[in-house]
Chain A
Amino acid sequence: MAERNATSLPAPLPASPPLTTPLVWAWGGVLLTATTWLVGIIALFRSIGGFFD
């Protein structure tokens, strides 16, 4: 009986993400800007600087 009740229960709904999630996304974007994009800019300036050496 208990088993039958257990199987008839609806599947739990997936928990919705916290409302602070966009803030986490934004911080991720900031981190990527401060790392990948910055590395690109540094490389770009180095490559341009190479012409003046």
Chain B
Amino acid sequence: MMERALGAWIGLRTRWRGLALPIFASPLLPAALFFAIDGNEQGVIGSALGFGGSLLAARALRRGRLGDSRRASWVMAAGTGLAASMAGDLGVPMSLIMGAGALFGTRMMYQALPETAPPPPPEPPPPPPGPIEESRARLARIEAVAARRADPRLQGVATAMEGVLDDLTAHPDRLPQARRFLTVHLDGLERIVERLEAGAAPPEGLPVLLDDLATTAQELRGRLTREESAALDIQVKVLSDRLREEGFR
């Protein structure tokens, strides 16, 4: 029975926690006003720091995260100590005592109120798709249209370009040599597909152009392979010469 009543009380205090702190510091507000009228700058600053500290502490307590009540009690201690020193003119030892009293007072007053762990940091956004993935997505749209229209030439170009992308996925170091090809071919093919989808009648030159696109895609694959073969050939020659120079052959 008593425990249930205490639980309910804790729930009530959790909802209202922190709001009492500015009330404790509220006499500093008219004090700041009177200091300002009197032209006492030090008094105004001290009062403002004391009341501001209570507001900050209340804000921390309202957040209710793990360690917030400890943080709030230190903020309260600093605010009260500064107000005692600057606005109350109580001297350093008495100001320290006031600060310590506020520290323990805040800690005791908000003891046993639940605090939640801070939420985990938000997950970083997924990295943007690389040029190959982006090209593959664009090509997939073209392939879908080609399949819907049952256009063998369009499908042939898409298949040839997919081969290029497969090569680039296996050897991403070749991407700089194929970047321009991808841009020109994919852009052009996309525009053609868009027009066809919009209901345009295919011009006479379109089949030839599509054949050219498929041919250049295959030529690019061949060229990239040839360049790779040439590089390997050079490596073999260099190694053979080295072995001969070193006297191993």
Interface centre among A24, A30, A39, A44 (most CB of B within 10 A): A39
Number of A-B contacts (CB under 8 A): 140
Q: Which of B30, B106, B108 contacts A24 (CB 8 A)?
A: B108
Residue interface bits A21-32, CB-to-B below 8 A is 1, else 0: 110110111111
Interface assignment of B24: CB less than 8 Å from any CB of chain A? yes
Give chain A nearest CB distance to B87 CB in angstroms. Answer: 4
Scan residues 1-48 of chain A and give those whose CB is less than 8 A from a CB of chain B.
16-17, 19, 21-22, 24-25, 27-44, 46-48
With A22-B6, A25-B111 known as contacts, the answer to whether A47 contacts B104 (CB < 8 A) is: no
Residues of A within 8 A of B43 (CB): 43, 46-47, 50
Inter-chain contact B102/A35, CB cutoff 8 Å: yes
Question: Number of contacting residues on B, CB 8 A?
Answer: 50
- Complex contacts, B104 vs chain A, CB 8 Å: 28, 31
Contact with A along B9-25 (1 / 0, CB 8 A): 11001000000110011
B54 to chain A: which residues have CB within 8 Å?
A: 36
Majority secondary structure, B binding face = helix
Instruction: State which residues 65-82 of B face A: CB under 8 Å.
Output: 76, 79-80
Do B98 and A40 touch (CB < 8 A)? Answer: no
Q: What A residues does B31 contact at CB under 8 A?
A: 40, 43-44, 46-47
B249 → chain A closest CB, angstroms: 63
Measured between alpha carbons, how far is A19 from B20 in the docked complex, in Å? Answer: 22
Complex A-B, nearest 7 residue pairs according to Cβ-Cβ distance, in ascending order: A40-B27, A28-B108, A28-B109, A31-B105, A47-B34, A35-B101, A43-B87
A–B pairs, 28, beta carbons within 8 Å:
A16-B7, A17-B10, A19-B2, A21-B6, A25-B13, A25-B109, A28-B108, A32-B101, A32-B109, A34-B101, A35-B102, A36-B21, A36-B50, A36-B98, A39-B50, A39-B98, A40-B25, A40-B27, A40-B31, A43-B28, A43-B46, A43-B83, A43-B87, A43-B88, A44-B27, A44-B34, A47-B43, A50-B40
